[in-house]
Amino acid sequence: MKIKFGIVVFPGANCDHDAYYATKKVLGYDAEFLWHKEPDLKGSNAILLPGGFSYGDYLRTGAIARFSPIMDEVIKFANSGGIVIGICNGFQILLETGLLPGIMQKNINLKFICKDVYLRVENKNTLFTKLVDKNVIKIPIAHGEGNYYADEKTLSELEKNNQVVFRYSDSKGDVTPESNPNGSLNNIAGIINKEGNVLGMMPHPERACDTALSRTDGALIFKSIAESIYK
């Protein structure tokens, strides 16, 4: 089956071209930009909500983008089992849609953080991580509001169902308070929905695909998605 990533372009998105470059130019999959005002997924078999600052992050991150015309189609696609990955602002938009639970608060140190982080891969049995062949991956983060919060009940559900896919850790995979860059509860960096077809993550895998950038762990996630579509 042909693999086509549909990359949604919101006003204020700024990682859409990075995502296009990573999936199409580096990894060789088909990719197409999807303008947020056109409710048409154009035959994509994976939807990527990119990072950035949709609608200027006004009101709350992702709050307005969530009601962009294309989002009804994305939600339908997700509810019928389609693969959706939200990266950074894309994750925040998924939280606003309710496809994933919880919210993002401002980073606990009140700073915008842009740096490489280590992630312990907690669940390799997902559509997004099946080809990840190591326990710790290195991927950059770049956000001001990535401090994941959910109420106790939601959090224990996430943990019980193995929905926490990535956790901030040190290079050895130890999950410590020091390796938590933003104050996220349980060092959460990425979660999946119960059904397993929607992933939200704050780190940017699209910025870790090209060997020229000396980090390639992000490619494992896109390769896993492609592998999942083949099957």
Active site residue 204: yes
Catalytic entry in 73, 122, 206, 209: 206
Q: Which residue has the tokens 């700073």?
A: 111
Q: Which residues of the shown chain bind another protein in the complex (CB under 8 A)?
A: 55-56, 58-59, 63-64, 67-69
The dihedral over CA atoms of 134, 199, 222, 1, expressed in degrees to the nearest 10, equals 120
Nearer to another protein, 12 or 173 (CB): 12
Active site residue 157: no
Q: Closest CB to another protein among 13 and 46?
A: 13
The smaller minimum CB distance to another protein, of residues 69 and 98, is found at: 69
Query: Catalytic pick from 88, 96, 145, 209?
Result: 88
Whole-number minimum distance, CB 89 to another protein, in Å? 14
Alpha-carbon distance of 6 to 14, in angstroms, equals: 15
The least distance separating another protein from the CB of residue 75, rounded to whole angstroms, comes to 14
Q: Report, in Å, the least distance between residue 82 CB and another protein.
A: 22
Catalytically annotated residues: 88, 204, 206
